[in-house]
Structure 1
Amino acid sequence: MANESNDPKYTYYEEVYKAFLNTIDSYDLPRLDDDELADVLYGYMDAGRLVFSTYIAKDFMDDDPENKRFNFKMTRIEITLLAQAMKLEWVREHLNSEELMRKAIGDRDYTTVQGYQYIDRLQNMEKQLSREITTQINRLEYSNSELYGEMK
């Protein structure tokens, strides 16, 4: 958890991780020890921040893994968007593992055991999250008067 020595000029990974964990239900993550959990969460965050690769306002690759923070302060909406991008990575991971399971046990058996509805829900969630993130990033950029000036 965050400690008292956190500098308010930066956003710490923990803030983003909390926002992400509040958006998912996972039986797997609580089973991990602290080091494994930190690695998994960093992996989701690292992959998720790629959605900001064209974001002009801040460089989301500018972080300090040793101090577990970004080298800038994120807004609340940026933290929320990064948490959504982490969720997108989490959904993609689950979708891939379900598709591998379906291939491993065969379509007919998979349908009997699990059904295609779960994969359909994951695919729909993936598409929806991807659209929402892109839309929000575009809105953020176009509403930032420091970047574009007053657009009239």
Structure 2
Amino acid sequence: MANESNDPKYTYYEEVYKVFLNTVDSYDFAQMDDDELESVLYGYMDSGRLLFSTYIAKDFMDDDPENKRFNFKMTRVEIALLAQAMKLEWVREHLNSEELMRKAIGDRDFNTVQGYQYLDRLQTMEKQLSREITAQINRLEYSNPELYGEMK
């Protein structure tokens, strides 16, 4: 994935993907070929960046898929925050598949195999990530002197 000719004026998808992959444990990713992995990661990123739709400092929808980059440079905090939003999307996907499994095999059988504990952990993680992302976006915006001037 690494490209030696990356322009430092931009943030490349791979920079965000690496941070995201360091936050999740999933054997599914290791089993994918490069094209499939890139497609899945882009899907998480594309969904995750919607959380930034109200973010004033930068337009996270402003990207260049052909060159696999954003048309601006993100700070490390913004990269970490977008990776966290990707993780939220990953958690939601697992949460939905667990809920479908519970419905398919029935509540009693699902509880017997202790799937409910995993489902509870996913629900807790989803709520926590969502709150953290919203709070961090708010902190970033209110601490940006270009947007609001020096707050005293």
Q: TM-score of the superposition, structure 1-length normalised?
A: 0.98
Give 1:114 shift.
3.2
Work out the CA distance in 1 between the residues paired with 2:8 and 2:38.
22
Aligned partner of 1:129 in structure 2 is: 129
Per mean C-alpha deviation after superposition, the further-off stretch among 109-118 and 66-75 is: 109-118
Give 1:151 shift.
1.2
Per mean C-alpha deviation after superposition, the further-off stretch among 25-34 and 73-82 is: 25-34
Work out the CA distance in 2 between the residues paired with 1:106 and 1:51.
33
Work out the CA distance in 1 between the residues paired with 2:114 and 2:50.
32
Aligned partner of 2:75 in structure 1 is: 75
Give 1:29 shift.
1.1
Give 1:115 shift.
3.0
Aligned partner of 2:23 in structure 1 is: 23
Matched residue type, 1:28: D
Work out the CA distance in 1 between the residues paired with 2:86 and 2:41.
8
CA RMSD of aligned residues (A): 0.6
Work out the CA distance in 2 between the residues paired with 1:75 and 1:2.
19
Work out the CA distance in 2 between the residues paired with 1:20 and 1:74.
15
- What 5-or-longer segments of structure 1 have no aligned partner? none
Q: TM-score of the superposition, structure 2-length normalised?
A: 0.98
Aligned partner of 1:120 in structure 2 is: 120
Work out the CA distance in 1 between the residues paired with 2:80 and 2:115.
32
Work out the CA distance in 1 between the residues paired with 2:67 and 2:91.
28
- What 5-or-longer segments of structure 2 have no aligned partner? none
Write out aligned runs for 1:31-110 (5 A): 31-110=31-110
Matched residue type, 1:148: Y
Work out the CA distance in 1 between the residues paired with 2:18 and 2:81.
13
Instruction: Give CA-to-partner distance per residue, 1:31-56, whole Å, 9 cap, x none.
Output: 11111101000000000000100000
Give every structure 1 segment of 4 or more consecutive aligned residues whose post-TM-superposition deviation is greater than 6 Å. none
